[in-house]
Amino acid sequence: MAFEQYDMAAQQQTQAVPVNKVVRNTFMLLSLTLAFSACTAVLSMMMGLERMNIFVFFIGAFGLMFLVNKFQNSALGLVLAFAFTGFMGLSIGPVVSAYMSLPGGGQTVANALGSTAVIFLALSGYALASKKDFSFLSGFLFAGGIVLMGAVVVGLFTEIPGLQLAISAGFALFACAAILYETSAIVNGGQQNYIAATVSLYLSLYNLFLSLLQLFGVLGDD
């Protein structure tokens, strides 16, 4: 019995090493890609780029995501992760510029950015510290993703009062659930590729920031 307990403890310790490595590499790469994305966002603002066409955005974003997933186990996947986050930064720059040009827009952007950071640190910190399994959120994320994408399509062709506000609130909740789910997968060994994990967490942060930006804009009459 003592030998079996020792063997189980040794196995758990051995499994913890790669998990800790994935956690460390993920958050290190996430920090670097966020910094790079911020640089491309500032660059697009300085260049005065206009808001990206929705179809160009979807083609570029989903195309780069496909390539990242395809090459996530190679050095090329690392390069593509920076390409993807840089592209997303370029797309968000004109949006931030539009808010900055409005009265009180600077405060709106600062509130959205600060709230995004606080929420992410709180949720990911809780998942890391508790090591709780949030895999049960997978069904919610799948159904919620379909509903939100359907609402986005409807919003492109209709002008239903309050729909955009509801979509923003929905995306904010979806992003929070995704952060818990993705961080939990990393901690519990469900996600062992730090490049894929980084891109997933980056997308959650991207959606959370945009959603909060619109929500704060509405609350501030922007």
Give the range among 137-141, 154-158, 193-197 with minimum mean pLDDT: 154-158
- pLDDT per position as a tens digit, 83-125: 999 999 999 999 999 888 888 888 889 999 999 999 999 999 9
Choose between 34 and 152: higher pLDDT.
34
Sign for the CA dihedral angle at 45, 166, 85, 123 comes to positive
pLDDT recorded at residue 5: 41
Stated pTM of the model: 0.85
Chain mean pLDDT for the chain: 85
The C-alpha atoms of residue 187 and residue 118 are separated, in whole angstroms, by 20
| 218 has a pLDDT exceeding 60 | yes
| DSSP letter string, 116-180 | HHHHHHHHHHHHHHH----GGGHHHHHHHHHHHHHHHHHHHH---TTHHHHHHHHHHHHHHHHHH
Distances (CA, A) of 172 to 75, 101, 102: 32, 24, 23
